[in-house]
Amino acid sequence: MLYTLLHGLALLYTITSSAVFAQVAFPNSPYVPPRALDGAQPTNGRSHPNPQWSNLLGNLLYFYEAQRSGNLPPSNRVPWRNSSTTSDGQDVGLDLSGGYFDAGDYIKATFPLSAALMSICWGATDYGQGYDVTNQTAYLDDMLRWGLDWLMKAHSSENTLYVLVGNADLDDAYWGGDQNIPSFRPSYQINITHPGTDAAAGASAAFSACSILYSNKSFGGPFSSPASLQNSSYAEKLLTHAQQLYSFAVNATGGQQTYQSAVPAIAASYGSSSYTDELTLAALLLSWATNSTSLFQQAESYYHTFQLAGQNGVFNWDSKTPGLAVLFAQITRASSDIGGNLTVWQSEAERYFDNIVNMRGPAWMTKNGLLYYDGDSDFASLNPALNAAMLLTRYAQIASTPERKAAYLKFAQSQVDYALGNNPMHVPYIVGSHPNSPSNPHSAMASGGNDIANIDTSPPQEAHVLYGAVIGGPDKHDNYYDIRSDWPETEVALDYNAPVLTLAAMHAFNDSNDPFYTSLEVGAYDKVRPQGRPCDPVFPDACGQLSKGGKIAVGVAVGVVGLIVFGLVAWYIYLLWSVKSQKTTR
C-alpha cells in the first residue's frame, strides 16, 4: 500500500518533471546491470547487437548514474544512492548542486569532467548507432544532460567558470557514504582577472563536441550517424556556452595561464600541464560546430604556434594533443570547403600512431601487453592504453593504407582484450562485468565503510557493486591485487570510463563477437597483496612477486567433479539471486 502510494507520487513527479527536462524517452523496462555471472556466458556471435557488448555499454553508462551528485530524480536506477550535497554553491550564492562526483571521493572537478564529456560526445557522434541498436541512447542523453546542465550552472556568467566544488584535502579526510558528506564544500572559480585558459577552453570543447552531437552533425561514412538524441534548441544552448567560454579563454584580461595559477586548491588533484592543447581543441571543435573556416585556420595556427606536431605523449584528461590531428583529419575529410589539407593531417596522425604500434617509445609494452607510459600510467595504467585504443579504432577508418588500418585495429583490439581479461591475472578490469572483475573499487560511496583507518577491512566486503566502473588498472608488472586502499590500481573516475564507452559503442554497432571475458573461466581471486611494501607508484619496484594464490583459477586445471560442483553452486546462487531481485523490483 505504502509502496503503491509512493509509486503513484513518483509517477506524478516523473510526469511533471518530464515537462521540464524533456529528453529521449527511457525504454519501458529500464536497463539494469545483469548479474556478473552473465558476463561469463559466451554468445558466440549469434545475435546482433552482441548482448555482452550491449550490457557492457549499459553498465558503463550506469556507472555515471551512481556518481551523481545533487537531488536524484525518480528515474534513478541505482538503489543504494541517495540525494546529497544539495547545498553546493550556497557559499557563493549560487545553485551548483547536481553534476557528478569525480572519482572515489566527493569533489566535483570541472576540468576532468569536461574532458570526459568531450570524449563521450565525440565518440557518440562517430559510433552513435552503437547506442541506438542497444537501446542505450536515452541513458546516454540522460548521462550527458546531467553533466552538461551542471556545467552550464558552473559557467555562471560569461567570464566565470566554477572549476572545483569541495576541497580535495578536506574531502580526502572523509571516507563514508553519501549521507554524511561534510557540508563545508567551498566553490572555486576562474574569472576574467584570474583566468584558467585550459579549464575555460576545455569546457568550451565539451560544449562544442556535445552541441555537434545534439545537432546530429555527422563526420560521414565510414563513421555511423550520431546517436539519435537530436535536439536543436539544446544544441544551440550548448553552443552559446561554447562560444562564450572560448572568448573567455582567448581574451581574459588576466592573460593566458593554467588554471591552478588562479585556483591553487586544484593543483594536487587535477593541475593541468598546459593550456595549448585545450585552446587548440576548443577552436577546432567550435569551427566544426559553426562551420567556420576562420576558426579552423585559427586552430591550425595555434597548432603550429604551440608546436603541437611531433609529440608522442599520452591522450588523457590533461593532454589532448594526440586527438587533435585525428580530429583535424576527420573535419578536413568531412568538409571540403573548410580549408584543411587531409594529407597533412593524416601524416601527422599516422606518425603518432605508427610510433605506438611499432613501439618506438616513449610508451612501451608491459610483459603481457599493456601499453605503458611511465608517469601517466603509474597512476591509472588502463587509461592511457584505452585512450590509445579509442583513438586508433576511430582513426583506422580513415587511415591512408589498408596495412595501417589493419595494424591500428589489431593493436587497439589487443588493448581492449587486455583490459577485458586477456591478462595474467585473468581479471576483466570493469566492475560487475564478470565474476572475476574487481570487487574492491576505491569508492567511498560504494564501499559502505566509514572507518578511514581501515578502508580495506571495514567492511570486509564492498557493500555495493559499482557496476560498469573501469578501475585504475594493474601495475607495470601486470600485477593487480584488488585492494581498496590502493587508489592507483582500484580507484574509479569519470574519465576512466569515457574511452571505453566509445569502444563499446563501436563493437556493439560493428561486430557480433563477444568481449574477451566471456572466454574466462570463473575463479576465486585471491586479493592478498604479497608481503612487503605496497605497490605505490612512488615506489613502483617495491611491488613483490605474484602471491601464490594471486593467480586465479583459470590457469588451474579444473576437474570434471569441480566443474559439476561449480555448476551446482552457480545454479543455486542464480536461484537465490532471482528470488532476491524479484523481491526488490516488486
Ligand X SMILES: *[C@@H]1O[C@H](CO)[C@@H](O)[C@H](O)[C@H]1NC(C)=O
- According to CB under 6 A, which one of 17, 251, 358, 545 is a site residue for ligand X? 251
Positions in 88-147 near ligand X (CB under 6 A) = 134-135
- According to CB under 6 A, which one of 511, 524, 564, 580 is a site residue for ligand X? 511
Work out whether 490 is an interface residue with ligand X (CB under 6 A): no
Buried (b) or exposed (e) across 140-168, using 16+ Cβ within 10 A?
Answer: bbbbbbbbbbbbbbbbbeebbbbbbbbbb
Q: Is the peptide bond before 459 cis (omega within 30 degrees of 0)?
A: yes
30 vs 361, beta carbon nearer ligand X: 30
- According to CB under 6 A, which one of 110, 414, 415, 510 is a site residue for ligand X? 510
Locate the DSSP E strands across 201-276. none
**Do 212 and 121 contact (CB within 8 A), yes or no?**
yes
Work out whether 517 is an interface residue with ligand X (CB under 6 A): no
Least Cβ distance, residue 24 to ligand X (angstroms): 7
Catalytic residue (one of 482, 489, 495, 514)? 482
- Which window, 171-179, 273-281, 416-424, 576-584, contacts ligand X (CB under 6 A)? 171-179
| Residue 368 cell numbers, joined | 603481457
Angle between helices 321-334 and 382-396 (to 10 degrees): 20
Active site residue 482: yes
Least Cβ distance, residue 262 to ligand X (angstroms): 5
Positions in 414-453 near ligand X (CB under 6 A) = 445
Active site residue 65: no
Interface mask (CB under 6 A) for ligand X, residues 12-41, using x and -?
A: ----------xx------------------
Angle made by CA atoms 125, 280, 230, in degrees to the nearest 5: 20
d(CA 277, CA 315): 11
- Which window, 112-120, 174-182, 525-533, 576-584, contacts ligand X (CB under 6 A)? 174-182
Sequence-ordered alpha helix ranges (H) in 335-439: 342-357, 382-396, 402-419
Angle made by CA atoms 194, 195, 199, in degrees to the nearest 5: 140
Least Cβ distance, residue 400 to ligand X (angstroms): 12
**Do 357 and 408 contact (CB within 8 A), yes or no?**
yes
Least Cβ distance, residue 505 to ligand X (angstroms): 10
**Do 110 and 102 contact (CB within 8 A), yes or no?**
no
251 vs 358, beta carbon nearer ligand X: 251
Grouping H, G, I as helix, E, B as strand and the rest as coil, residue 175 is coil
d(CA 196, CA 191): 8
Indicate the residue whose CB is closest to ligand X: 177
Using alpha carbons, list the distances in angstroms from residue 285 to 119, 219, 475: 12, 12, 35
Catalytic residue (one of 478, 491, 495, 514)? 491
Sequence-ordered alpha helix ranges (H) in 438-559: 444-447, 487-490, 494-510
| Residue 260 cell numbers, joined | 591552478
Work out whether 177 is an interface residue with ligand X (CB under 6 A): yes
- According to CB under 6 A, which one of 191, 260, 383, 479 is a site residue for ligand X? 191
- Which window, 7-15, 197-205, 231-239, 468-476, contacts ligand X (CB under 6 A)? 231-239
Query: 188 has which bridge partners?
Result: 164
Sorted by sequence, the CB contacts under 8 Å of residue 450 that are 6+ apart come out as 175, 176, 177, 180, 458
Half-sphere exposure of 512 (CA within 13 A, CB side): 8
Work out whether 344 is an interface residue with ligand X (CB under 6 A): yes
- Which window, 370-378, 433-441, 453-461, 506-514, contacts ligand X (CB under 6 A)? 506-514
| Residue 158 cell numbers, joined | 560569461
466 vs 535, beta carbon nearer ligand X: 466
Least Cβ distance, residue 193 to ligand X (angstroms): 6
- Which window, 339-347, 354-362, 479-487, 556-564, contacts ligand X (CB under 6 A)? 339-347
Chain residues binding ligand X by CB under 6 A are: 22-23, 49, 54, 80-82, 134-135, 177-179, 188-189, 191, 193-194, 216, 218, 222, 225, 228, 230-231, 233-234, 246-247, 250-251, 262-263, 291, 337, 341, 343-344, 397, 409, 445, 506, 510-511
> Which of the residues are catalytic?
482, 491
